[in-house]
Amino acid sequence: MRALLVATTNRHKLDEYRAIFSDLPFQLLSLKDIQLDLDVEETGTTFAANATLKALIYAQASNMLVLADDSGLEIDALNGEPGVYSARFAGEQTSYAERFRIILERLRDVPAARRTARFRCVIALAEPSGLLRLAEGTMEGLIADAPRGEHGFGYDPIFLVPDLHKTNAELSAEQKNALSHRGAAARRARQLLATWPQM
C-alpha cells in the first residue's frame, strides 16, 4: 500500500478523503501523522493556484505523493466573495459565527432567488518529480436566512441545498460526501489515483 500525504491538519477533511478513497491501495496520512511542520502561505488568486502551490511544496518537503486542495464559498450577490479568501474572510481569527453574521447582514435585502452560491474545490496531486494533476468539483446552492445544523464545518450551516431543503450542516456525512464540492473533486482525483504511475 502506497502512502498519500493529504496536506492538511483538518481532521474533518482527512476523514472525508479517507471515506472516498477507502477502496484504493493508498494509506492516507496527514501533516501531523508525519510530523511535517511546514505552513505554506496561500498566495495564489485562484483555488487551482493555491492547491498547486501547496501540493508541489509539500511533495518536495516530504518526498511523497501529495494531495492538496483549496476550496471556498462563492456568493454571486457578493461578486463571488469570500471566494479564495474564504478561510481568511473578515480576518483569520474571526469565528465562523461572526462570518455568518457579516454575510447574512450583507445579504439582508437580497431575495431568496438571488442568494445563489457555490462551494468550489480544486485538488492537486503532485509527486516530488513535479508530476501534477488537477481535479475540480462544485456544489450549487443558496445562502440560508440563518445558520442551521450541527454537522459539517466551515460555511456548511449557511449553505442551503435547495432540493433537500437542508443546509450542509443538516446532512449526514454520507449525504454530504455524495453531493459536496470536495466529494466531486475527490471522485475525479480518485480516478486519477486509480491509474497513477507507480514509483
The CA distance from 171 to 177, in Å, is: 9
**Any known ligand binding at 12?**
yes
Report the SS3 class of residue 166.
Answer: strand
Q: Does the annotation list 2 as a binding residue?
A: no
22 is written with which cell numbers? Answer: 477507502
The response to whether 153 counts as a known ligand-binding position is yes
Residue 41's φ and ψ, nearest 5 degrees, are: -75, 130
Q: Is 45 annotated as a binding residue?
A: no
Q: Which of 70, 76, 145, 163 is catalytic?
A: 70
Nearest to 183 by CA among 193, 192, 172, 174: 174
H-helix or E-strand spanning residue 28:
strand 26-30
9 labelled binding-site residue: yes
**Is 176 assigned to a binding site?**
yes
Give dist(CA 146, CA 180) in Å, integer.
20
Do the annotations mark residue 71 as ligand-binding?
Answer: yes
Report the alpha-carbon distance of residue 132 to residue 135 in Å, rounded: 10
Question: Would the annotation count 181 as a binding residue?
Answer: yes
Of 92, 29, 97, 90, the C-alpha closest to 63 is 29
Is 70 marked as binding a ligand?
Answer: yes
Q: Tell whether 8 is in a known binding site.
A: yes
37 is in an annotated binding site: no
**Catalytic residue check, 70:** yes
Chain-centroid distance, C-alpha 156: 11
Helices (H), the chain: 11-20, 47-62, 96-106, 173-179, 181-194
Q: Where are the beta strands (DSSP E) in 40-153?
A: 66-75, 116-126, 132-143
Is 155 labeled as ligand-binding? yes
Binding residues for substrate: 8-13, 71, 153-156, 176, 181-182
The catalytic residue positions are: 70
Binding residues: 8-13, 41, 70-71, 153-156, 176, 181-182
Binding residues for Mg(2+): 41, 70
